Structures are given as structure tokens and as C-alpha cells.
Amino acid sequence: MPEQLSQSQIDALLKKMSSGEADIQEDTKKAREYDFKSPKKFTKEQLKSLDSLHKTFSRMLASYFSGMLRTVCEVDVLQIEEQRYYEYNNALPDNSLTGLVSVKPKNKRYDDSTMMLDMSTSLGFYLIDRVLGGPGTGYNVDRNYTDIEIAILSNIFTKITQRLQDTWSNNLEIEAVLEGIETNARLLQVFAPEDIVAIVILSVKLGNRMDGTLSICLSAEFLEQVIDTFSLRFAHTTKRQDPQKEEAKKRLILENVCESNMEVKVIFDQLKLELRDIMQLQPDDVIPLGKPIDSDVMVTIGKVPWFTAKLGETKQKKAIKLQNILNNGEEVVQWEKRGTSS
């Protein structure tokens, strides 16, 4: 039990306080504000599980964008927060593009729900420009999407939904279907204004030009039912990785990368000409090369030297026969030396 002060000690203490001699230390810690109108529904561990889930989705999305656009793409989880639905909805710009995704768990213990995928206008117009063959410039525009542009982005939203379903299915088997796209999200009444929703904001960086965002709005009521499933799965995987699941993830990423188109070139020889000689070139001019016709040629994939090969013919068409794999810079240098010395 704490020691009790005697009456004389109490009198002495009161005397010092009245005279200003007592050193009174105030607690400098500031209380953190808590909004009782918007109570937090998720623990730190549950939010950590949600973060881990969408980090996996980010990697799959980056792989998809990189393969489709043939450029470097980085997707990261920028922020996860809880809000009232009206707060999230009011913060959306007037010309935002929002996809409505129906989520149906195959386990009937869980209720069906809806997700909202909101794409920033800078990301949307950048994707449209690149898909139509443009360089990806002029995406910082402030206008509504045309019907053709919405049709193009609808296909991209469908692909994003497929990868979202694949990510969730690692923990909870669901069927995710893009139900439609809305160009004015403020008119949507997906949830009640006072409903609590979880917002996952992803930052998307494409090449060195474009920074955009993709946000996912999830019902807190639905997440409360399923998030413990994620927590258990992630707690288990942090202790011991499942080799089969890791291999399945690798195969899935590889399948996404394999959808990309790569440019393949066959280089027989390289030479340098002076500008005056190039300006005098005419049709039917012959340019002598310094290599025999049976010399090795180099095969490049995406501007990267990959194979050496021999020229040939099959079924009355020109062809090449692959010889060796160029797996390091030294072999490329040796090939170039052989070519120049022939």
C-alpha cells in the first residue's frame, strides 16, 4: 500500500505551495483526440493484414501495367484509413472515373458486397494516350471522358478487377465482377452516407513521367466479417512460407509478364558512315559489309542482346537458327570483336 502522509507533512506541503517553494511538475503529454462520431473498427493488426493483402495486389498490378505499356511501373500502398462514406465521396473530383465491383464470397457464411475503384484523371488519360499509341504526354487535362475513352478504360478496369480477385482468392475465394463505370461518383449511393468504409490508396508511377493514384473503397461491415481470415493467413505466412503458394504466385506473375509483346531484331552487322556518304545514298546502291554471309548474327529482345544465330531458309522463307545464349556482357563484347575481325 502507498505510504500515507501525516497531518504535519500535509501542513508543511500546503505551506510550501502557498509560498511558491514547492516544485510542481505538470504532465506535458498531450492527449490524442478521438472522434466518438467515427469510432475505429479495426485494430492495428487487422490494418496490417489489409496492407499486406494490397501490397500483393500492387505487385500484380505493376506487372500488368508494365506488360501492357512496356514501361517501368511501380505501384505501392500509399495509405489505408477509415472514413465515413460521405467524407470519401465528397472528396472525389467531379470528373473522376469510378468502377463498381461486385464481390461474392464463395463461402456463403459471408455476405456479398461492393467495392469502388476510383482512378485519378492523370492516370486515366495517361493510359488512354499510351494504349492509343501516344507517348503518354498531355495527361494533365481537366475535362470529362468521351465514350470511346470510357470503353478503353472499361477494359482496363476489367483486367484490374481480375487481379484483385486473384489477390483476394489467396485468402478468401471470391468472385469479383466489374458491374459498371460511373463518371460522376458523387451521384453513387453504394453505401449509406454514415457508413464506415476503409479506403486503400495506391500510388502508381509509370516511367519517369506520370504519378497517379488508384483508390479502393471497401465496406467496413463486410471487412469485419472476413478480415480475421486475412489476419490468420498473414500471421501464418510470416512464420512459415508455403512453397506451393509462393510457386503459384510466381506462376501468376509470370503469366502476366508473358502477355507483353517484345520486339525481336536480328542484327547481321553494324558499320559507321560519314554524313556526306549517307546523304548521297540512292536506291540500288550497294553497301559492302565486313562479314561473310555464314557469320553469326545477333538476336536482340527488347534491345538486349540475347542469342547468336545462323542465317538460313525454311519453307521458302528467311529464317535464323539459334546457336548460343548471350548471358553476360563479356560474351556480347566477344561477339562484336569476332564480327569486326571477320
Q: Are 206 and 65 spatial neighbours (Cβ–Cβ below 8 Å)?
A: yes
Average pLDDT for residues 252-269, to the nearest whole number? 78
| Confidence at residue 117, expressed as pLDDT on a 0 to 100 scale | 92
pLDDT of residue 296: 85
291 or 319, which is more confident? 319
Task: Give yes or no for residue 240 having a pLDDT over 50.
Answer: no
Q: Return the pLDDT at 201.
A: 92
Return the pLDDT at 20. 63
Confidence of residue 1 (pLDDT cuts 50, 70, 90): very low
Mean pLDDT, rounded, for 3-16: 72
Stretch 180-209: mean pLDDT:
84
Sorting pLDDT into bands at 50, 70 and 90, what band is 235?
Answer: very low
The torsion region of residue 171 among left (phi > 0), alpha (psi -120 to 50) and beta comes to: alpha
The model's pLDDT over 206-226, given as tens digits with 9 standing for 90+, comes to: 877 778 889 999 888 888 888
Average pLDDT for the chain: 79
Q: Assess whether pLDDT exceeds 60 at residue 279.
A: yes
Between 43 and 287, the more confident residue is: 287
Strand order in the sheet with 210-219: 73-84, 196-206, 210-219, 113-119, 97-105, 174-182
Q: Indicate the class that CATH gives domain 44-258.
A: alpha beta
Range 280-287 average pLDDT: 87
Cell numbers describing residue 160? 484490374
Residue 183: the pLDDT is: 83
Distance in angstroms (rounded) separating the CA atoms of residues 68 and 153: 13
**173 close to 103: Cβ distance less than 8 angstroms:** no
What local confidence, expressed as pLDDT, does residue 330 receive? 46
138-152, 253-267, 281-295 — which is least confidently predicted? 253-267
254 pLDDT band, cuts 50/70/90, is confident
Rounded Cα distance between 223 and 228, Å, is 9
pLDDT of residue 263 exceeding 70, the answer is: yes
Q: Tell me the percentage of the chain whose pLDDT exceeds 70.
A: 82
pLDDT digits (tens, 9 = 90+) for 139-155: 677 788 889 999 999 99
Higher pLDDT: 174 or 139? It is 174
pLDDT digits (tens, 9 = 90+) for 39-51: 566 777 778 888 8
Sheet holding 297-301, edge to edge: 264-267, 297-301, 304-314, 317-325
Q: What is the residue extent of each domain of the chain? A: 44-258, 264-341
> Would you say residue 239 has pLDDT above 60?
no
pLDDT, position 238: 44
With 80 as the cut, is the pLDDT of residue 187 above it? no
Is residue 267's pLDDT more than 50? yes
CATH number of 264-341: 2.30.330.10
The residue assigned the cell 508473358 is: 258
Q: Is the pLDDT of residue 329 over 50?
A: no
Q: What is the pTM of this model?
A: 0.58
Mean pLDDT, range 59-76, rounded to an integer: 87
